Copies of this chain bind each other. A is one copy, B any other.
């Protein structure tokens, strides 16, 4: 097996995470960005919380735009005719869309990459008008002495893509919105290519086009251009409906290796591998025919969104074996080891 799941999965469950406020409960701890710092594996875990449920009510929390350190709670009778609650992740009340939870980012640390202690308090919590519905699905890329963190920022303005950075994971500096909404699934390349920074992004088109991986480039990580479609869904296959990047791309002698997520028409999320040219990263050299990671364990098929593995964190210790982190069923954090050489060999066969 070129990618092997950890025997002690799930690594982090909601029960291991202390709520950020006494009246909230942790629904899900999942979709963690990852990096290595001073020999330690660091995860920024997406922690989704909601008000402690009351029977007969749907409730959620929203960042208070007047006071970002506080939440506003919305509680609606399940029988209220103005309520539409057909998706476990969102509901509509009186024509306005709400998420059923609000997410923040929480730090977890490990010496071996497999056993984690979770911080008691959030590392980053919603703070801005673009973040009132939460901050989600971080990726971490180390560039020139900084850990850059990009994440989805959700509000009634749309699904925007935000960039922040830190040197120490204690103090975080917000740098702004990277792309126009709706966009998500950004991953920054760890180094410049011919003087330009690069990242993947995944626009969600309303009118025409399938959710696909796009590439953009930048002089300064803040202004982005040269947008190109790189990888789209493949009708009739396991990645038929939507594709988006996983964690930060990995530099290998053969090219940039990226594990991407994809779903089919049944919203089954699996992962595939794609290899891009080192100097011209818009050139796809190879793409895996079959998934490299699939939801086939009980902990991946029970939870908020059964049948989902979603990888957005990667810890590279430089020895050819990389730890991948992924959300399972939108509920827990799981891990797997990847032998880079074996994935590259399989891509050569699939080419």
With A and B bound together, what is the CA distance between A219 and B223 in angstroms? 8
Shortest Cβ distance from A160 into B: residue: B227
Question: A218 in the interface, Cβ–Cβ < 8 Å?
Answer: yes
This protein's copies in its complex: 2
With A and B bound together, what is the CA distance between A316 and B11 in angstroms? 64
The contact string, 1 if C-beta is below 8 Å from chain B, for chain A 118-136, is 0000000000000001000
Quick one: which of A160-191 are within 8 Å of B by CB? 160, 176-183
With A and B bound together, what is the CA distance between A133 and B209 in angstroms? 12
Contact A154 B97, CB 8 Å, known A179-B227, A203-B181, A225-B223: no
Question: A229 in the interface, Cβ–Cβ < 8 Å?
Answer: yes
With A and B bound together, what is the CA distance between A181 and B183 in angstroms? 9
With A and B bound together, what is the CA distance between A177 and B203 in angstroms? 14
With A and B bound together, what is the CA distance between A217 and B216 in angstroms? 16
Question: A292 in the interface, Cβ–Cβ < 8 Å?
Answer: no
Q: How far is the CB of A224 from chain B (nearest CB, A)?
A: 6
Shortest Cβ distance from A98 into B: residue: B208
With A and B bound together, what is the CA distance between A159 and B182 in angstroms? 13
With A and B bound together, what is the CA distance between A205 and B203 in angstroms? 9
What total of chain A residues lie within 8 Å of the partner, measured CB to CB? Answer: 41
A180 contacts B177, C-beta separation under 8 Å: no
Interface centre among A97, A177, A201, A227 (most CB of B within 10 A): A227
Quick one: which of A177-235 are within 8 Å of B by CB? 177-183, 201, 203-210, 212, 214, 216-220, 222-229
With A and B bound together, what is the CA distance between A228 and B222 in angstroms? 13
* A208 interface neighbour in B156, B176, B177, B203, Cβ under 8 Å: B156
Question: A157 in the interface, Cβ–Cβ < 8 Å?
Answer: yes
Residues of B near A225 (CB, < 8 A) are: 176-178, 218, 222-224
A-B contact pairs, 25 of them (CB 8 A): A155-B208, A155-B209, A156-B208, A156-B209, A157-B209, A158-B203, A158-B207, A159-B205, A176-B225, A177-B226, A177-B228, A178-B225, A179-B227, A180-B201, A180-B214, A181-B205, A182-B206, A182-B207, A182-B208, A218-B225, A219-B219, A219-B223, A222-B225, A222-B226, A224-B225
Q: Residues of A with Cβ closer than 8 Å to B?
A: 97, 133, 154-160, 176-183, 201, 203-210, 212, 214, 216-220, 222-229
18 new A-B contacts at CB < 8 Å, known A157-B209, A157-B212: A97-B208, A156-B208, A159-B205, A159-B207, A176-B226, A176-B227, A178-B225, A178-B227, A179-B227, A182-B205, A182-B209, A205-B206, A206-B206, A217-B223, A219-B219, A220-B223, A222-B226, A223-B224
